Amino acid sequence: MSAVPSAAQEESPRNLQFHAHATSTFFTTLLLISFTLLLLFYLRRRRQKLGSVTTLVVSSPAIARDVLKTNDLSLCSRPDIATWRRYSYGSLEVALSPYSPRWVSARRLLVTHFLSPRPVRGLSAAREEEVRTLMNTVAAAAVFGHTVDLSKSLMSLVSCIVCRAVFGKRFAPAGESSMSEIGGVLCLTAEILGGFVAGDYFPWARRWLNAVTGVHGRLERSFKEWDDLFEREIKERERAGTGSSDDGTYASVLMRLVREEQSNKEGGLTRDAVKAFLWVKTTYRPNIGELRNPI
C-alpha cells in the first residue's frame, strides 16, 4: 500500500523555488545598491557632474569676436565623438576632427584637389546624366499612373551623384533612379550618428556604456561594411596600375596622390587617410541649392 504524500511534502518544491527566487532578487538588489554607492563615491572624489559636457556660452558681440577671431586657434577644435572618430579612422578627415597640424594638411589637400572649380566642372556631365535619369523615371511612372515618392527619389538622386563623384560608378541598376546598394549602410550610419551615445557624455565609462547600450556592436558592423567597400575600390585601382587614366573621381585622385607621395618617399597620405576622405565624401549629402551650383 503506497504512502499518501503529505501537504508539506507537496509544497516543498514550490518552497525551494520561492527561496531560490528570493535569494536571486536579494543578490541583484545588493549589486545595484553597491554599484550606485561606488558611482556616487567616484563622482564625489572627482567632483564632476554626471554627464557634464564643457560648454562655452557666447552672450555678446565682443565675446564672439574674441572667440571667433582673437582666440580662434584655442577654441576652434571639435568635440571628441566616439562614432565620428571610428568612422574617420581616428580623426583623419576634416569635417569634425580636432584641430591639429594634421587637420591643416588634410584641409589644404581637400581645398586644392577637390573644392576648386576645375574638379567640380569635370563632374558636371555625371550630375546632368543622373538628373535626366530621374526625370525619365518620373515620366515613366506618370505614363502608367504610378505614384512617385519625390523625397525618396531625390535622396536616390543625391546618392547616385555622390557615388559617381567618389567612385565613378552608380551602385544602382542602370537606367533607374533608385537607391544604390549602399543605401542600407547609409541609413544605418545616419541612425548611429544621429542617435544618443551615452559614452560621449560619460567619458570615464565610455567603453562599457557603449557596449551595454549596443552602440559599439552596431558601430563596428557599420564600420566594417564601409571599410570592405573602400578596400575593394582601392584594390581595384591598385590592380589597374599607375598607367591607368585618372577619371577625376575622388578615389582616383586620392590614389594618384598616394602614388606620388610614395615615389617622393613622403608617405603622409596613408591608406586609412584615403578611406577617411572617401567616407566623408560618400556620406555627405548636399542640399538642392548645391545640386544647382555645387562647390
pLDDT digit string, tens, across residues 255-269: 888 888 776 655 568
Residue 36 reports pLDDT greater than 80: no
State how far the Cα of 295 lies from the Cα of 285, in Å rounded to an integer.
13
- At residue 108, the pLDDT reads 86
pLDDT value at 171 more than 50: yes
Report domain extents, the chain.
105-292
Which of these ranges, 56-60, 150-154, 235-239, 244-248, has the smallest mean pLDDT? Answer: 244-248
Q: Is the pLDDT of residue 238 over 90?
A: no
Nearest Cα residue to 55 out of 75, 32, 30, 29: 75
Q: If pLDDT is split at 50, 70 and 90, which confidence band does 43 have?
A: low
Measured at the CA of 162, the angle between CA 161 and CA 165, to 5 degrees, comes to 85
DSSP 246: -
- What is the band of 228 on the pLDDT scale with cuts at 50, 70, 90? very high
Task: Give the mean pLDDT of the chain.
Answer: 76
pTM of the full structure: 0.70
Residue 155 and residue 171 in contact, taking contact as beta carbons nearer than 8 Å: no
Cβ 197 vs Cβ 210: under 8 Å: yes
Give the integer Cα–Cα distance in Å for 106 and 12.
73
d(CA 119, CA 249): 8
Cell of 51: 554627464
99, burial (CB in 10 Å: exposed 0-12, middle 13-18, buried 19+): middle
- Each residue's pLDDT tens digit, 173-222: 766 666 666 777 887 888 888 888 888 877 777 888 888 888 899 999 99
Residue 85 confidence class, pLDDT cut points 50, 70, 90:
confident
User: Is-contact 163 154, C-beta < 8 A?
Assistant: no
Please tell me the distance from the alpha carbon of residue 202 to that of residue 182, in angstroms, as a whole number: 32
Asked whether the predicted pLDDT for residue 14 surpasses 60, the reply is: no
pLDDT for 263 equals 65
Average pLDDT over residues 37-48: 58
Q: Please indicate whether residue 287 or residue 283 has the higher confidence score (pLDDT).
A: 283
Structural contact between residues 294 and 286, judged by C-beta atoms closer than 8 angstroms: yes
- For residues 94 and 277, give the distance between their C-alpha atoms in angstroms, rounded to a whole number: 8
- pLDDT of 160 reads 83
Expressed in percent and rounded to 5, the helix, strand and coil fractions of the chain are 70, 0, 30
Given a cut of 70, whether residue 73 has pLDDT beyond it is yes
At residue 5, what are phi and psi to the nearest 5 degrees? Answer: -65, 140
Q: For the segment 114-166, what is each residue's pLDDT rounded down to a tens digit?
A: 777 777 777 788 888 889 988 988 898 899 998 888 888 887 888 888 888 88
